[in-house]
Each structure stands twice: as structure tokens, then as C-alpha cells.
Chain A
Amino acid sequence: MAKIPQRKIHDYLRHDKKFPHVWCAGCSNGIVLGAVIRAIDELKLNRDNIVMVSGIGCSSRMPVYVDFNTLHSLHGRAIAFATGVKMYKPGMKVIVITGDGDATAIGGNHFIHAARRNLDLTVVLLNNNIYGMTGGQYSPATPHGDKATTTPYGNIDPNFDICKLAIGAGASHVARTTAFHAIELQKQIKEALEHPGFSLVEAICACPVIYGRLNKKGDAPAMMRNMRDNSIPIKAAEKLPPEQVAGKILRGTFIKEVRAEYTDAYQKMMDQLSPKEGE
């Protein structure tokens, strides 16, 4: 990470247009943005060829700051918009930036169906366990028992394991880490970008201003330390007894399989329909 100077990130930003950004002090979203940019830079992707699509929410504000083709769409619908872009121009690299509420509540249907099709989208899901933009209501990723502005007596909902949801729906590349593990995050996003098929990177993010405050998680550094201390790599977890794994954030790549990709399948179908050369 340190090999790439800050100036590099600056190069990818619409710094003369849309700054200062909307994110609160201590928010992890900037760390994820940095990881996305470094991963793209490492792969030397042509920025004219990148479309970044987002929905609505704190994390979904990301595209406006970066110098790609950017589409800040509707709440929950980023993947549906991205599907249209990718299906029409399969050669483009389509990155979806979404949040836990955006992707798994209002956008849950699009999320599972794009995963099922194994459409080549790179979905970076910033999970801050809450709806931040609207002021702190509980999301499908708010842990059971936690406080939100709409769970004043504690959350009675069980929460999603978003990676398991994606695997169950058919995603062929699924990984998770935290904003604390910025280098690991960059590596996971890079791998996801290289993967031909639906890939999900779930980035556990800190929302110290709302989620942290409501649940007495401490300030931003304390929440970062918690990510460090309360998460374990999948491989390490496999060697531990279940009681030591319970409640921990599992980090790593859960699944990485090359399967028939959707735009490829469509192209093959078209090839079969078109007359052979010389006929």
C-alpha cells in the first residue's frame, strides 16, 4: 500500500469538483474508497472503461468523487442499473458500491439474482450495520440486540450474514474484511476485479457517529481497534473451537470458483444463432 503515494489517489479523484465529501469524521468509507482506487491502479485498468454504479446511502455517495464513468442510481437498485450497463457493454469493468441496507434490504432481490446469474460485477458492500444517511435506523445487518433509532428497546431482528447470503444465491467470488485491514481489503478488491463472474467484497465499516454512539462502541479509533481485536481470518477460525469463533468477524475469501459467466453465456447463445463463416 505504502508503495503508492497519496498523489496517486488524488489523480483518480474529482478533487476540483466535488470536495469536501459528505462523510463524517471517523467514517470508514474513505478507507474503502482508497482501497478501491489502489486496487484499480494496481491492475492498471483504463478509467474510461470503468463504470462505478451505486445506490443511495452514505457509501453510495462514493462515485461522485471519482473520475470514472459514474452512476449514482436509486435506493437498492445499483445492481439492476449495473446489469443494464454490463449486459450492453460486456467489455466494461462494472463496479457496484453499495451498503448493507441498500444491497440486502431494499435491493435484496437484485443482489441475489445478479449473484445467481453470475454476472461479472464487482460488488463492494460497505457494511456499517446501520442506515447512516437517514440518521441511524436498523438495517438487516444490525446485530441482534443492538440499538438504532428505530430499535430503542434493542433489535429483535436476527441479522443477515451477507457473505453466506451471496454464496447461497450463487456468487462465485465472496470475500470479507474490515476497514482496519486496509491492505487486505485492497487485495480482496483486486482479486474481485480480476474474477470473471459475480464477486462480493464485504467491507465491515465503522460508523462512530451514529451506530457507535448509539451502541457505546467508543470513538472511531476504538471501533477500529475493535475490528482488529474482534476479527479472525477464516483459516485461523477453522482451527479454533466454535465458542472462540462465535461473535467474531470472519475475514478472508469464502469462495472463489470460476463458473459460466452470464455475458459469456449470452455471447455463446448469440454465436450459435449467427450463421457460420463461409455459409
Chain B
Amino acid sequence: MTKEKATSKKTEKVEAIVEKKVTKAVIMQGNEAVAKGALAAGCDFFAGYPITPSTEVAEILSNELPKIGGTFIQMEDEIASMCAIIGASLAGAKALTATSGPGFSLMQEAIGFAKITETPTVVVNVQRMGPSTGMPTSPGQGDIMQSRWGSHGDAPAIVLYPDSVKEAFQLTIRAFNLAEKYRSCVVLLMDEVLGHMREAVTLPDLSTVRVINRIKPTVPPQWYKHYDENQKYLSPIASFGEGYRFHVTGLTHDDHGFPTNKPNEAAKMMERLNKKIKHNIRDLVQIETEHMHEAKVAVFAAGIMGRASKEAVKMARAEGLKVGLLRPLTIWPFPDDAVTKMLKDVDAVVVPELNEGQLFHELERLVRERKDGSLHRLNRNDGTVITPAEILTKIKEVYNG
């Protein structure tokens, strides 16, 4: 069977793989949900390098992708993995890699390449306790800032952060959709405990899953610009082998993709990279709020700490405390508007994180005009999680203080 034939049979086969999971609740691991979500989103290329605690994503896709005409390759390192998915995406693939902190660090240069060349790619980083080799099987949220600023140069980032196995499935699909739509490298941050946690999930019927594919050019090759513009800064993208014969470079380039040293063209390119995020912020930002309309104290947390916080808020409310939750599903771009409103509406905010306070810095950035004492950090950086009971204790301390 040729690859083309295999691809034509792909849709029904993806359904076969995912469908047995859709009718009833099944026990599934976070990493498994990522793999299933990728398949549901149309992922047909994976390149990766083994690293705890993300390896299951590669293992599952090595099993599934060859069955549906997709490509799986285990590369020689994480640098090569990231480069390979960019190459595949330029050839038309919906491409994914999965890694953890040390590998994510190695990928940063190529992530910058994907951003400057506006090549749709998805990177899953199942975070572990760092720095360096750290604690490979323990949770940590130390890569929040790396996912924003990790690559050199100043380019915006799109980073999603689920709090449950089901949401890992959903946000993996969303990561692919945003990568295709905004022509960028989208990062899905996970927590070690989510990657390895099994819980009962009911996945949506595949027919209800909304899949976005990149816009293809309709102009003849001589009119094609690889970085064409429109009002929303979203532009069509040709693939290698389609007759467009375009040039891709990591050098600062003009709208055809050819390198340039002219300040006006450099400024135009940077404006494109930034504006396509800024102009579409409402589409990119996703938050979950609970009881914020009547809250005196709010908890702001993401990923697995968002989940623990949800539980803590429930416990606090059972005790009659007016506590709300704001949990960003998109951490970059940062939900400035929602957070600013939250800071205006409540007396105090508790920010539990498994690091020294990375999201906390963002709140400090937005709270500058307010009086001191309204922001409260709750940090742990020892490879264990902060429990809902501990968050509740902090909430009470703040509530009464």
C-alpha cells in the first residue's frame, strides 16, 4: 500500500482507534490522552526522543501512526526531533514532538525557528522537577517562563496548560488547531502527575471534534508570498512539493521569505509575529472561573495546581468563605484582561505554584498600581505537590488577614 492510499484510509482508522473510547468512560493516563488527542486532531507525524515522564506519548504513537499511514521516527536527540517536525510540517504534516524539561531546553533554538518561519508545530512538555536532570519522576512547574521566553530573541508564544486527562485530550486538539491557524509553534505544558495520572474520562465523539487545517494558497506560484498579510495576520501556507518553490530561512526575512537586512522589512516581520497574537487574543485566551462574581479572595493557578486549587475553593466555600478560582487554560499569551478584572474585584489573590513564583511575577506586573499585600504566593519546589488542604490553609490565612 502506498503512503497516499494509507492516508485516504486514515480518517476511518483514526476513528477506529479513538472510537472505542468515546461511548463510555475509560481509565486513561494524561500522556495517553495527549496521543489520542493528537490523532483526533489529524497528527500524522511524530519525531521524538525518549525522556521521562513523556515517553508514553511516543510509545503510543509509535504503535498507532504506522497503522494509519502516518510517520513515527525516534530521532537521535531532542534537537533533531524538533527540527524533523519542522521539516515535516513544511512538507505538509501535522507534526508533534513530546518531551520534558531537559529536552525542552534542547529544543529552544528550533522552537524559535518554527516561530520566525511561522511553521505549524506542536510541542508537548510534560514538566518534571528541575533544574537540570532534577527529579525525573516528580512534578514541578519550573518551565512556565521557559515556555514563554526559552528561545532567544523576542517572539510571542502560545502555551496551553490542562488540569485533567480529559482536558489534556481537548487541549492537544486545540494546540494543533492553533498551530495550524496561527502558523506557529504551540506548546502544551503538562505536569508529571497529570502525564502519569490515570482517571476515568469520557472522550467526545470524534464527529464533534473541530479540526482546523492550515489555509492553502489559491494564487498561482508566481504570486505566492510565503508570509502574505491580511487583516488578522493569518496567511495561507504552501507545502514543499506543491509547485510553489518558496524559500524558508531562520534569517530575518521579507514577505517572500528571502533574507533581508533592511530595518523596515525586519520591523514588518516582527510586527507580523507579534500582531497575529495581539490581534487574536480573544481567540487564544481561555480561562476557567468559579465563583468569581462574589469572591473576596481568589486563587489563581494553572495545570495540576489549578486542579488542587479548585478542590481547595470547594472546601473553602463549604465553610462559607467567599473564595473564587481563576484558572488559565492558555497561560501564554497571558490573560491580562481577566486577571486585571480579578485583581480589581477581589481583596487578595493566592497563587499556588510548584516553582519559586513564575505566574506570580505576571500578577505582580499587573497589580503594580494596587497597594501591597494583596498578592500571596504559595510555592513548593521539592518534587511534591501542594495539597488542597494546604491551599485552604493559605486561603484562610489571607481571608482573615
Contacts and interface: CB of A to CB of B under 8 A. Distances in A.
Contacts of B91: 51, 84-85, 88-89, 92
Interface stretch (B140-148, B227-235, B248-256, B298-306): B248-256
A215 interface: no
A51 B248 CA distance: 11
Contacts of B245: 47-48, 67-70
A236 interface: no
Contacts of A92: 91, 240-241
Given A87-B73, A89-B241, A267-B3, A72 B66 contact: no
A92 B259 CA distance: 25
A59 to B, nearest CB: 15
A225 to B, nearest CB: 34
Contacts of A53: 87
Contacts of A47: 245
Contacts of B241: 48-49, 51, 69, 89, 91-92
Contacts of B45: 84, 87-88
B1 A270 contact: yes
Which bucket holds chain A's interface residue count?
35 or more
A84 B86 contact: yes
A69 B246 contact: yes
A117 B290 CA distance: 53
B258 A84 contact: no
Interface stretch (A74-82, A125-133, A159-167): A74-82
Contact of A73 (B6, B73, B83): B83
B79 A84 contact: no
A53 B248 CA distance: 9
A63 interface: yes
Nearest to A61: B259
Given A84-B88, A92-B91, A274 B80 contact: no
Interface string A99-112: 00000000001100
A11 to B, nearest CB: 13
A271 B5 CA distance: 11
Contact of A85 (B77, B88, B258): B88
A82 B75 CA distance: 12
A17 interface: yes
B343 interface: no
Contacts of B95: 84, 88
A83 interface: yes
27 contacts: A48-B243, A51-B91, A69-B245, A72-B247, A72-B249, A74-B250, A77-B83, A77-B110, A80-B80, A80-B87, A83-B75, A83-B83, A83-B87, A84-B91, A84-B93, A84-B95, A87-B47, A88-B87, A88-B95, A92-B241, A109-B76, A266-B71, A270-B6, A271-B1, A273-B66, A274-B1, A274-B67
Interface of A: 14, 17-18, 47-49, 51, 53, 63-64, 67-74, 77, 80-92, 109-110, 113, 266-267, 269-271, 273-274
Given A83-B75, A87-B47, 14 more contacts: A48-B242, A51-B240, A63-B247, A64-B247, A71-B249, A74-B109, A84-B89, A85-B90, A85-B240, A88-B71, A113-B80, A266-B66, A270-B3, A274-B9
